[in-house]
Amino acid sequence: MSSNSDSSDRIRALSNSPSNTRALGRALASVLGPGDVVLLDGDLGTGKTTFVSGVAAGVGVEQPVTSPTFTIVRDLGGSPRVLHVDLYRLDHMSEFEDLGLDEALGRDIVLVEWGEVVRPLLGESVCEVLVSYTETEEASSDQRSVEFRLSGPAWSARKDRLRRAVATAGGSGPVMGAGAEAD
């Protein structure tokens, strides 16, 4: 996942369980609003859809969240409406444009898995979330790193609120951000 943000626009936490990954999703939900786009990246099985289920629960969506890999776009409902998009099977920006999500990008919360290919279409204010396996010897198989990369003025204004929400979400390990040293 590419990002134009510097290290001061990154927040990182560790998750030790699926419920903790969902809690980090709820933390992000606490600062989301209509028109927000979140790009999620990470290897297969790292917990992107689990994270999305936390975001959805955090904005009041009650239905179960499953990966939209074969449907590409799943409308989860809610207010504001939440769309869960999985672009794993798309290869070109034109295929994304064919989905007709233009209006949704301005009014709904749009959560996009495998969204790197469409990043240039999304404007300057985007939150990118990278979910990855940790690479330490003592890490359990459930431990993940969840890194929020914030770009643009809309996210700059919410960075501190998100940092506080992530810190209280129960993630273990360091919460990274402006003035913090990366490990």
DSSP 63: S
Side-chain half-sphere exposure of 17, counting CA atoms within 13 A = 5
Q: Which DSSP string corresponds to 110-129?
A: EEEET-GGGGGGS-S-EEEE
Hey, what amino acid is at 133? Y
- Sign of the torsion angle spanned by Cα atoms 21, 22, 27, 33: positive
Which tokens hold the place of 127? 């939150």
Domains of the chain as residue ranges with CATH: 7-167 (3.40.50.300)
**pLDDT < 50 stretches in the chain:** 1-5, 176-183
Q: What's the pTM value of the predicted model, to 2 decimals? A: 0.82
pLDDT of residue 2: 42
pLDDT of residue 100: 61
pLDDT of residue 138: 56
Hey, what amino acid is at 181? E
DSSP 7: G
- Rounded to whole angstroms, how far apart are CA atoms 56 and 60? 6
pLDDT of residue 3: 43
Contacts 24+ apart (CB under 8 A), 94-100: 96/121, 97/121, 99/72, 99/73
pLDDT of residue 179: 33
